[in-house]
Chains A and B, each alone.
Chain A
Amino acid sequence: MGGKPACTLGEVKNRADLIIYWGGNPAECHPRHFTKYTLTPKGKFTPNGRKDRTMVLVDIRETPSARAADIFLQIRPGRDFEVLTALRAIIKDQPVDPERVAQTGLTLDQLRDLAGRMKRARFGVMFFGMGLTMTRGKYMNSSAILTLAAELNAFTKFIAMPMRGHGNVTGADTVLRWTTGYPFGVCFNRGYPRYNPGEFSTIDLLVRGDVDAVLVVGADPAATMPQPAIEHLKRVPTIVLDPKVSTTMRIARVGILTAATGISAGGTVYRMDEVPIPLRPALRSPYPTDEEVLRRIRQTLAARTDE
Chain B
Amino acid sequence: MAGIITLTLRETPHVPLEAEVICPDVLAGKSREEIQALPVFLGKRTRRLGDFFEVEVDGDGEEVHLRGDLRKVRWIGRGMTRGRVVIHGDVGMHLGAFMRGGTIEVFGNASDWLGAEMTGGQIYVHGNAGGQVGAGYRGSPVGMQGGTILIEGSAGPEVGMRLRRGLIAVGGSVGDFAGLHMQGGTIFLLGAVGIRTGAWMVRGTIVVFRPIALLPTFLYACTYRPTFLRLYFRYLQTLGFPIPPEALEGAYHRYTGDTAVPGKGEILQWAPDA
Residue total for A at the interface (Cβ-Cβ under 8 A)? 31
Question: Do residues B217 and A197 form an inter-chain contact, with CB atoms below 8 A?
Answer: no
Question: Do residues B44 and A189 form an inter-chain contact, with CB atoms below 8 A?
Answer: yes
Min C-beta distance of B192 to chain A, whole Å: 16
Question: Do residues A82 and B215 form an inter-chain contact, with CB atoms below 8 A?
Answer: yes
Is chain A's binding surface mostly helix, strand, loop or mixed? loop
A212-B43 contact, Cβ under 8 Å, with A95-B219, A199-B93: yes
In the docked arrangement, what's the CA distance between A92 and B113, Å?
33
Is A198 an interface position by the 8 A CB rule?
A: yes
Binary flags per residue of B252-274, CB closer than 8 Å to A gives 1, else 0: 00000011111000000000000
Question: Do residues B180 and A92 form an inter-chain contact, with CB atoms below 8 A?
Answer: no
In the docked arrangement, what's the CA distance between A210 and B12, Å?
12
Residues from chain A with a CB closer than 8 A to the CB of B61 are: none
Question: Do residues B216 and A82 form an inter-chain contact, with CB atoms below 8 A?
Answer: yes
Question: Do residues A88 and B199 form an inter-chain contact, with CB atoms below 8 A?
Answer: no
Binary flags per residue of B209-222, CB closer than 8 Å to A gives 1, else 0: 00000111111100
Question: Do residues B262 and A136 form an inter-chain contact, with CB atoms below 8 A?
Answer: no
A85-B200 contact, Cβ under 8 Å, with A95-B219, A96-B216: yes
Binds B, one of A20-28, A35-43, A97-105, A273-281: A97-105
Is A195 an interface position by the 8 A CB rule?
A: yes
Interfacial residues of chain A within 71-90, with CB under 8 A of chain B in the complex: 81-82, 85-86, 88-89
Min C-beta distance of B194 to chain A, whole Å: 10
In the docked arrangement, what's the CA distance between A92 and B16, Å?
46
Partner pick for B260 among A85, A98, A136, A137, CB 8 A cutoff: A85
Q: Which residues of B contact A (CB under 8 A)?
A: 14-16, 18, 41, 43-45, 72, 93, 112-113, 131-132, 137-139, 176-177, 180, 195-196, 199-200, 214-220, 258-262
Q: Which residues of A contact B (CB under 8 A)?
A: 81-82, 85-86, 88-89, 92, 94-98, 100-101, 103-104, 136-137, 140, 188-190, 195-199, 210-212, 307
* Complex A-B: 15 CB contacts under 8 Å: A85-B200, A89-B216, A89-B217, A94-B217, A94-B259, A97-B219, A100-B216, A103-B216, A136-B195, A140-B177, A140-B199, A190-B18, A196-B137, A199-B112, A210-B15
